[in-house]
Amino acid sequence: MRRYILTGTPGAGKTSILRGLARLGYGVVEEAATALITQAQARGEDEPWTRESFVDEVVALQRQRQSQAPATGPVQVFDRSPVCTHALATYLGRPVSRALSAEIERITAEGIYECQVLFVRNLGFCEPTRARRIGFRESLEFERIHEQSYRAFGYELIDIPAGDREQRVAAVDSFLSGHAP
C-alpha cells in the first residue's frame, strides 16, 4: 500500500481534489482537524482549536484514520498528516506535544507515508468558513509553515499548481498513476 499526503494552504481546494480522486477510484481519507472542528461546533463550542488538547486530538484521529483506512487499492491519499499537525502547532504558537512528536517518529520509522507530498498551491484567495476563519494573508503564512515542516522532516514537495479542480485532479492522478506499484 502506498500512502500519499495531500496538503497545502487552507482553502486551496484539497477537499475538492480528494473527492475527485475518490470518483476515480482512489482510496481517500478525509482531514481530521476539520472533522473535529465540525463535531465540536455542532455541540456548541465555537473555536475548538483554542483548546490546549486540540492538537493531540487531531493527532489521535489522524492515527486512528490511518490505521483503520480500508485497503481499497494500491494507493491511498490522505488529506493532511501529522506533519500538518506539526505545522498547525507551530502556527498556533504551541509547543510540539509528546503525542505529536511520538506520532511523527512512528510515521517516519514505519515509513507510513511516501516521501513525496502532493502540495496544493493557493488559489490567490482564501474564503473563511465556520471551521476555517483565517484570511488569505494568514493562509499564506500557514502555507509557508507547512512547507518548512515537510522539508524539515525530509519530504519532497510535489507542486499542484493553481488551476481548476479538474486540472488539479488530473495532475494528481497523473502523478499517482506514474508512481503506483
Give 43-88 pLDDT, tens digit per residue.
Answer: 999 899 999 999 999 999 999 999 998 887 899 999 999 999 999 9
Quick one: pLDDT at residue 130? 67
Q: How confident is the model at residue 181 (pLDDT cuts 50, 70, 90)?
A: low
Q: Return the higher-pLDDT residue of 129 and 87.
A: 87
Straight-line distance from the first to the last Cα atom of the chain, in angstroms, rounded to the nearest whole number: 8
> How far apart are alpha carbons 74 and 84 in whole angstroms?
23
pLDDT tens digits, residue range 5-45? 999 988 899 999 999 999 999 999 999 998 999 999 999 99
DSSP H/E element including 18: helix 14-23
Question: In which element (H, E) is residue 156 found?
Answer: strand 156-160
* Residues spanned by the domain of 55: 2-179
Structure confidence at residue 180 as a pLDDT band (50, 70, 90): low
Non-local (6+) Cβ contacts of 93 within 8 A are none
| DSSP letters for 28-88 | EE--HHHHHHHHHHHTT-S-GGGSTTHHHHHHHHHHHHHHH----SSEEEEE--HHHHHHH
Q: What is the CATH number of the domain that holds 67?
A: 3.40.50.300
Query: In the chain, how many domains are there?
Result: 1
pLDDT tens column, 132-175? 677 888 889 999 999 999 999 999 999 999 999 999 999 999 99
Task: Tell me the β-bridge partners of 158.
Answer: 118
- Amino acid present at 45: E
Closest CA to 24 of 130, 179, 174: 174
Say how many C-beta atoms besides its own lie within 10 A of residue 92's C-beta.
11
Per-residue confidence (pLDDT) for residue 95, from 0 to 100? 93
DSSP 163: -
pLDDT value for 73: 83
- The pLDDT of residue 133 is 72
Per-residue pLDDT at 10: 84
Q: No. of H helices and E strands in the chain? A: 7, 5
Using pLDDT thresholds of 50, 70 and 90, give the confidence band for residue 124: confident
Cα dihedral 63, 21, 72, 33 in deg (nearest 10): 20
